[in-house]
Amino acid sequence: MHQFRAIYCITILFAFIFSMPAYAQNETSASDTYRPVTIDSGPHNGISKPDNTINDGYVAPTFERLSRLYWTLAMFDLGDNAAIDNYLLINECELHSKYFNNDFEMEDLRAATKQSIVKNMASFDNKFEILIPVGLDRYDTGKEKFKMSPDSDIIAVKRLEIRLNDNPNACGNKFIKNVPGYPKNFILSLSRPFTLTEFPVSPEVAQAYIEESLKTFESNPGQYKDVSKYGRVAYIRFKVTMSQFRQYIKIPNNPPMTEIFGTIDGYEVYADIEKQLLLSKQTVLSDQKKIYRRKKIDEPQLSPDENQGAATDAPNPASDPASPVEPGTQP
């Protein structure tokens, strides 16, 4: 079993929550909202970056992809030049650096960016994978299931605090830690509690996994003892769909985060971080998913004499209730 390369961390949050409005415009303090239950006891408990890409539509939630998702969820409007500039800073670093101090060129670049966002918004990613290591307990031969270690159990969770992008700096600038309006990390808010304490594995696969884990344990007995007393570690790949922006969240001593409604569509459990040996695969039944936007963003109307540089009269997402938009449709 390969050694962890734990460069990320995840926090699982219980929703024992006060009732909150669906669209809070001001930042909400996390300490006023829910009690965190953290899975982060050391280097073996972090999320690790997978090497093997699975082409099933679920991708890693990079900072760049999240910034595009925010437009899909109508968190900005096209008349907000600061939001456009920051979008360029994250996604088009070279162009932003080249033209930012040239007022005329920057106006043209903003106009082209607005048109590009409107044209491509329907194809921006909203399905992501979240990979976390968990410890395993005994294999139940009667039920043909692996039990998860008590410290790894996920019980009645309604909020997942996902921290995958703490290290990257915008445009390679170490002084730009946070980009206004574009949190690097997010909180996934689920519509119903999610529990996972065991998962089915065939006896043949379980035996092969146990034998391989035993080899690792015998060669380095203390390697995984912090997550499993049997030295057994597996990797759960959650497949999630993000559907609706809720609010910005301010967590004490941490950068702001975005709270987004979403669903866990399913999960896969692998014996290795490279996702080569599949132990289990499950689909989570949920309601039909829709992407909710506060209001459709209309394509900007730019007159020729404005050199395609004028700010458009964009919809104000704060003033309109959410309206469902079917996935894959043009906003």
pLDDT digits (tens, 9 = 90+) for 159-218: 998 887 766 677 877 667 789 999 999 999 998 999 999 999 999 999 999 999 888 777
Domain assignment present for 4 = no
Higher per-residue pLDDT: 33 or 211: 211
Residue 255 has pLDDT above 70, yes or no: yes
Alpha carbon dihedral 311, 182, 293, 9, in 10-degree steps, equals: 170
Domain assignment present for 138 = yes
Domain assignment present for 1 = no
- Report the C-alpha gap between 54 and 49 in whole angstroms: 13
pLDDT of residue 254: 83
Higher per-residue pLDDT: 28 or 67: 67
Domain assignment present for 42 = yes
For CA atoms 210, 211, 215, 218, the dihedral sign is positive
Q: Number of folded domains in the chain? A: 1
Structural domain boundaries, residue 57: 9-295+304-325
Bridging pattern class, strands 233-250 and 257-270: antiparallel
257-308 residue pLDDT tens: 999 999 999 999 999 988 999 999 999 865 545 555 555 555 444 433 433 3
pLDDT of residue 127: 97
pLDDT of residue 123: 95
Instruction: Grade residue 245 by pLDDT with cuts at 50, 70 and 90.
Output: very high
Residue 40 has pLDDT above 50, yes or no: no
89-122 residue pLDDT tens: 999 999 999 999 999 999 999 999 999 999 999 9
pLDDT of residue 30: 43
Q: Which residue has the tokens 């539509």?
A: 57
264 and 239 Cβ atoms separated by less than 8 Å: yes
Q: Which of 25-29, 42-46, 96-100, 323-327 has the highest mean pLDDT?
A: 96-100
- Report the C-alpha gap between 241 and 58 in whole angstroms: 8
Domain assignment present for 331 = no
Domain assignment present for 267 = yes
pLDDT over 90 percentage in the chain:
52
Domain assignment present for 243 = yes
From residue 183, alpha-carbon distances to 19, 49, 157 in Å are: 23, 20, 22
Q: pTM, whole model, 2 decimals?
A: 0.73
- Report the C-alpha gap between 90 and 229 in whole angstroms: 43
Domain assignment present for 34 = yes
